[in-house]
Amino acid sequence: MSVANPPPPLGNDWKPWGERLNAFITTTRNKLQFYNSDSKATQDGIIMWDEAQDCPVVSKNGAWIRIKLDP
């Protein structure tokens, strides 16, 4: 399996590169993963969606912390 590499910036006009980079990221990266009871907080800073609580959660110190959303 080969690893996909993002497009390098070329020249002084960064707008086309930004558009190519955005296209690369949206086609090669996963959307937000769903949290479930088997999800392990192995690293700090992992963000997942908790469908049961209808909110995002973030991993910190081995635990999942709910991120409060404004209504």
What tens digit of pLDDT does each residue of 5-59 get?
A: 777 777 788 888 888 888 888 887 777 788 888 888 989 998 999 999 899 999 9
pLDDT score of 1 more than 70: no
Kindly report the three-state secondary structure assignment for every residue of the chain. Answer: CCCCCCCCCCCCCHHHHHHHHHHHHHHHCCCCCEECCCCCCCCCCCEEEECCCCEEEEEECCEEEECCCCC
Can you give the pLDDT at residue 2? 62
Can you give the pLDDT at residue 18? 87
pLDDT score of 60 more than 70: yes
Q: Where are the domains of the chain?
A: 32-71
Quote the pTM value: 0.54
